[in-house]
């Protein structure tokens, strides 16, 4: 995919964020267009706007069809309102390698001089020089200028050659002849792109070789960016590193080269264009822009937020803040001591009063900025501590022989710090939709419960306990009980590994989706049979406190589970002064011959 790249997802199918990346906005029911072509498999998903990326998570296939685009690669955005059956769309324009750049236009490019760039995975476009350029072979090279296409192995840095019969998107990727590791597809595409670009340049050089002169030989060595005169054997400028032209041509030649690069075909697009390609040649251009269709509203809010993020360049601010706060947490004090006057403070007027006012304002702003820096540093260190605690918890779970007390203490400490991901707020919901907010809140709740919280509660926790634990982890912007209930109600609809369950008495709990009522009751009955035989005696039974001590459930949950098992006929109870005790119901399992017992009773009566 040219502009999009695959992303990693959490257990709740949310994008895994970078270190200093934060969520900004979420919108449901969106689809991706490649220019004017609708991409199959990418038409029903969620769109996340973060401080660094725009992430698309597909509803049907989240693990395979979830991609993202980096915001620094976006040049301009455009909003198109909906009309009749057409949904509103936001168009993201990307800079093309041969005609423009992803950065603002430089003076050299504005004057008609091409700004050379090294090929990359997201910006390289490859011109097709012939209609039947399917197979790459030495016979098809123009004038024998290119006899073999080579690529550099990213593992061992060995230079390999593509086989003569290699066909892009059809032939398998050849492994490295030294280390045997197959390179990523982007490495082969970059090699093909660079080779074809050099072929265009050298073809134009052969056409103009008859008209070149000694003065032109000096011009062809001049760097197009810094005008430094380089040696004719150099490919890159010795001063600025820009790619050098191999031959001198006037602006009209550049226009010809530009037309060849834009009017001919390009490499095939990995999604949506695979059926249109035939090997290396394609009948359609690589796209220079993509469209995102909003079918359930939220388009204007998403457009405004995206424009704001692109204008403020949030990713650069986060990077600068991270570098500034990297060493340690430092508390800056005012280097200038406050002047202390023994006498009473008299008001100052005129220039002296204005100077004192400005000085007090400057000192107040300095203290405020130092306090904010300390707060940002503390928040960053807290996030690092959460990540460190989670890493230790994973290692302890994988290593045998670790005491349970150590695991429990580490799990409780990681839960007491905070959430590892940014908190979900109502402002993140596109268009202010409550449904989007509850869905994202449910996904973050699932991530929170999956982080050992529900396991510490025995796999079942009441809604009151979840409310207290989750709000304590959020710290700020606490949620209401209504929001928590609405979010937990969407667990099964979103396909999350948890479900909300309501008992007959009205008690509401959250438990793992795999453990249904039958599995829970079977586990409870099997343990009671073992407990009656070994610990409590055959005639003593068990209480709700015994079940709570064994499974880690709260006493209220234990009572509800025992009563549910009794209603299904698996248990029977005996209410005594000390409390209610539960036994395994043996009536259904006992073998009782009523005829024998009846005749035996009649014989005793006759005697």
DSSP 241-271: -PBPPSS---HHHHHHHHHHHHHS--PPPTT
- Please tell me the least confidently modeled range out of 119-133, 273-287, 573-587: 119-133
Distance (Å, rounded) from C-alpha 183 to C-alpha 174?
A: 8
The CA distance from 424 to 441, in Å, is 6
SS3 105: coil
Structure tokens at 449: 């419960």
Cα gap 467→482, rounded to integer Å: 10
pLDDT at 104 over 70: no
Own/partner pairs, 53-62, CB within 8 angstroms, 24+ separation: 53/7, 53/15, 53/21, 54/92, 54/306, 55/7, 55/15, 56/4, 56/30, 56/32, 56/292, 57/9, 57/13, 57/14, 57/15, 62/9, 62/13
Q: What's residue 20's pLDDT?
A: 77
Angle formed at CA 278 by CA 277 and CA 282, multiple of 5 degrees = 50
Q: Provide the pLDDT confidence category of residue 18 given band limits of 50, 70 and 90.
A: confident
**Domain 419-512's class?**
mainly alpha
Look up residue 549 and give its two tokens: 């001590």
Q: Could you name the CATH architecture of 520-584?
A: Orthogonal Bundle (1.10)
In this chain, the answer to whether the domains covering 5-96+288-315 and 419-512 adopt an identical fold is no
Least confident of 142-146, 207-211, 394-398, 564-568: 142-146
> Tokens 């068990």 identify what position?
542
Provide the 3-class DSSP secondary structure of residue 602.
Answer: helix
Domain ranges of the chain: 5-96+288-315, 107-208+249-282, 419-512, 520-584
Decide: 223 and 244 in contact? Cβ < 8 Å.
Answer: yes
- pLDDT attached to residue 1: 60
Domain 5-96+288-315 bears CATH identifier 2.40.110.10: no
Beta bridge partners of 460: 511
Angle (CA) 247-249-251 rounded to 5° is 150
Structure tokens at 107: 């003076």
Of all residues in the chain, the percent with pLDDT exceeding 90 is 11
Residue 398 sits at φ, ψ, to 5 deg, of -85, -20
Task: Give how far the C-alpha of residue 468 lies from the chain's centroid of Cα atoms, to the nearest Å.
Answer: 28
Q: Which residue has the higher pLDDT, 444 or 452?
A: 444
Structure confidence by residue, pLDDT tens digits, 448-483: 888 878 888 888 999 999 999 888 888 777 889 999
At 332, the pLDDT band (50, 70, 90 cuts) reads very low
Over residues 377-434, the pLDDT tens digits come to: 666 666 666 666 666 666 666 666 666 666 566 555 555 555 666 778 887 776 667 8
Dump pLDDT digits (tens) for 477-525: 788 999 999 999 999 998 899 999 999 888 999 999 888 888 888 888 8
pLDDT for residue 108 is more than 60? no
pLDDT computed for residue 484 by the predictor:
92
Residue 574 and residue 580: Cα distance in Å, rounded?
6
């Amino acid at each position: 995919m040219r502009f999009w790249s695959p992303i990693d997802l959490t257990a709740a199918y949310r994008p895994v964020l970078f270190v200093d990346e934060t969520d900004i906005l979420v919108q449901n029911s969106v689809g991706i267009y490649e220019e004017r072509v609708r991409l199959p498999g990418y038409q029903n998903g969620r769109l996340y706007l973060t401080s660094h990326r725009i992430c698309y998570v597909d509803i049907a296939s989240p693990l395979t069809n979830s991609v993202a685009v980096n915001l620094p690669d976006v040049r301009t955005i455009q909003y198109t309102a909906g009309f009749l059956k057409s949904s509103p769309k936001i168009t993201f324009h990307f800079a093309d390698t041969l005609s423009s750049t992803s950065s603002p236009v430089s003076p050299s490019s504005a004057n008609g001089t091409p700004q050379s760039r090294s090929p990359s995975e997201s910006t390289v476009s490859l011109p097709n020089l012939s209609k039947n350029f399917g197979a790459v072979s030495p016979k098809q090279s123009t004038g024998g200028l290119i006899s073999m296409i080579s690529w550099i192995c990213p593992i061992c840095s060995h230079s390999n050659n593509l086989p003569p019969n290699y066909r892009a998107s059809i032939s398998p990727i050849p492994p490295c002849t030294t280390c045997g590791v197959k390179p990523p597809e982007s490495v082969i595409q970059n090699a093909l792109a660079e080779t074809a670009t050099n072929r265009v340049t050298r073809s134009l050089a052969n056409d103009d070789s008859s008209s070149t002169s000694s003065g032109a030989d000096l011009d062809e060595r001049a760097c197009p960016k810094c005008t430094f005169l380089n040696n004719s054997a150099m490919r890159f400028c010795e001063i600025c590193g820009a790619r050098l032209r191999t031959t001198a041509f006037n602006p009209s030649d550049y226009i010809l080269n530009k037309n060849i690069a834009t009017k001919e075909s390009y490499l095939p697009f990995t999604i949506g264009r695979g059926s249109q390609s035939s090997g290396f040649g394609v009948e359609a251009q690589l796209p220079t822009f993509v469209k995102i269709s909003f079918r359930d509203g939220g388009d204007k809010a998403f457009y405004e937020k995206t424009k704001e993020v692109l204008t403020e360049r949030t990713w650069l601010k986060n990077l600068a803040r991270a570098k500034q706060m990297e060493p340690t947490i430092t508390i800056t004090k005012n280097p200038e001591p406050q002047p202390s006057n023994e006498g009473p403070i008299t008001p100052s007027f005129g220039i002296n009063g204005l100077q004192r006012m400005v000085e007090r304002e400057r000192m107040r702003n300095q203290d405020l900025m130092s306090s904010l820096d300390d707060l940002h540093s503390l928040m960053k260190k807290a996030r690092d501590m959460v990540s460190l605690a989670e890493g230790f918890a994973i290692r302890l779970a994988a290593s045998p022989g670790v005491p349970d007390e150590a695991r429990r203490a580490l799990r409780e400490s990681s839960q007491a710090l905070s959430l590892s991901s940014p908190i979900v707020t109502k402002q993140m919901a596109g268009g202010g939709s409550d449904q989007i907010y509850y869905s994202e809140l449910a996904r973050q709740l699932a991530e929170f419960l999956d982080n050992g919280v529900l396991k510490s509660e025995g796999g079942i926790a009441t809604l009151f306990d979840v409310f207290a634990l989750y709000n304590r982890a959020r710290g700020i912007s606490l949620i209401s009980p209504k929001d928590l209930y609405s979010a937990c109600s969407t667990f099964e609809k979103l396909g999350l590994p948890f479900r909300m369950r309501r008992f007959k008495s009205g008690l509401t709990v959250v438990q793992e989706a795999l453990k249904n009522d039958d599995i829970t009751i079977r586990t409870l009955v099997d343990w009671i049979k073992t407990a009656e035989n070994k610990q409590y005696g055959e005639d003593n039974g068990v209480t709700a406190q015994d079940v709570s001590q064994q499974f880690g459930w709260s006493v209220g949950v234990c009572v509800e589970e025992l009563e549910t098992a009794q209603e299904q006929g698996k248990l029977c109870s005996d209410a005594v002064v000390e409390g209610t005790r539960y036994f395994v119901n043996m009536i259904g399992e006992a073998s009782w011959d009523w005829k024998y017992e009846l005749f035996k009773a009649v014989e005793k009566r006759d005697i």
